[in-house]
Amino acid sequence: MLKVNDIDVYYGHIQVLKGISLEVNEGEIVTLIGANGAGKSTLLKTLSGLLKPKKGSIEYLGSNIDGKAAQSIVKAGISHVPEGRRVFANMSAEENLQLGAYLRKDHDGIKKDMEHVYELFPRLFERRKQQSGTLSGGEQQMLAMGRALMAKPKLLLMDEPSMGLAPLMVKNIFNIIEMVNKEGATVLLVEQNANMALSVAHRAYVLETGKIVLSGTAKELQERDEVKAAYLGGL
Ligand code: ATP
């Protein structure tokens, strides 16, 4: 579904991604783990058209998307749930969800998807009129996910959904990631919480200072000593 081929990405003169190649197959949950500053968010921003690679290519469903505008990438079915949620604080939860569908014109489909988001996140239904900036961190994460789902994505890019959330809420969010995947969305999940990410993912890549240093099935990586030592809290 997605084929990233040897991309280099810079901020000004500083190179942050160095020859990254990876693949995501339809139906998978693939996770990208790595320490602070490894370049995980930069990779997702590049996939969603917010940054342009200086070298390499990004193929999605058989077409090149590197260099395309973010809007046309959303239209092609890629939705990004950004780090730190980034909900529109002064708008209600429901207005945020409606914004997620702003490129769609199928009003019946939008209505159906809104109902489905409320089924996945009953809490959002209860809070639909509330100003989003006053929602809890977990509720904002649900809202950011719900907003992304309103674009009817084929591929969902998720940036650190666990950040700043209590363990029970993290579990809840990861259950929903699995549910959304079972319903048909392919997921590329960036996480520092490697334990949780590897427990839901089919395959994984480890990113260190802009390079992929390891890849394999999630199970294989969970058993690698260097992954245990660096990312899973010791041997
Ligand atoms: P974190 O989990 O801390 O968000 P990350 O793996 O997602 O880490 P990135 O946010 O992709 O890492 O950052 C990779 C590197 O790029 C870091 O060294 C960071 O300081 C740098 N960087 C990120 N955004 C910018 C920017 N807008 N301008 C300049 N440098 C940036």
Pocket test for ligand 1, best of 14, 17, 36, 42 (most atoms within 8 A of CB): 42
> How many alpha carbons lie under 13 Å from residue 130 in its C-beta half-sphere?
14
Query: Average pLDDT in the 23-52 region?
Result: 95
Tell me: pLDDT of 132 over 80: yes
**Residue 217's beta-bridge partner residues?**
203
Query: For residue 33, how far is its CA from the centre of ligand 1 (angstroms)?
Result: 14
Query: Average pLDDT in the 164-181 region?
Result: 90
Q: Which residues contact 12 (CB under 8 A, 6 or more apart)?
A: none
What is the percentage of the chain residues whose pLDDT exceeds 90? 74
Distance CA(89)–CA(140), nearest Å, equals 10
Q: Note the pLDDT of residue 235.
A: 52
**Quick one: which of 104, 96, 4, 100 has its CA closest to 44?**
4
Hey, what are 128's tokens?
A: 């639909």
Smallest CA separation from ligand 1 atom 20, residue: 37
Mean pLDDT lowest among 59-63, 102-106, 133-137: 102-106
User: Model confidence at 234, in pLDDT bands (50, 70, 90)?
Assistant: low
Smallest CA separation from ligand 1 atom 2, residue: 36
Can you tell me which residue has the tokens 């395959």? 203
Q: What is the pTM of this model?
A: 0.92
| Ligand 1 pocket residues where CB is under 6 Å | 11, 14, 16, 34, 36-42, 83, 192
User: Model confidence at 128, in pLDDT bands (50, 70, 90)?
Assistant: very high
Cβ proximity of 156 and 117 under 8 Å: no
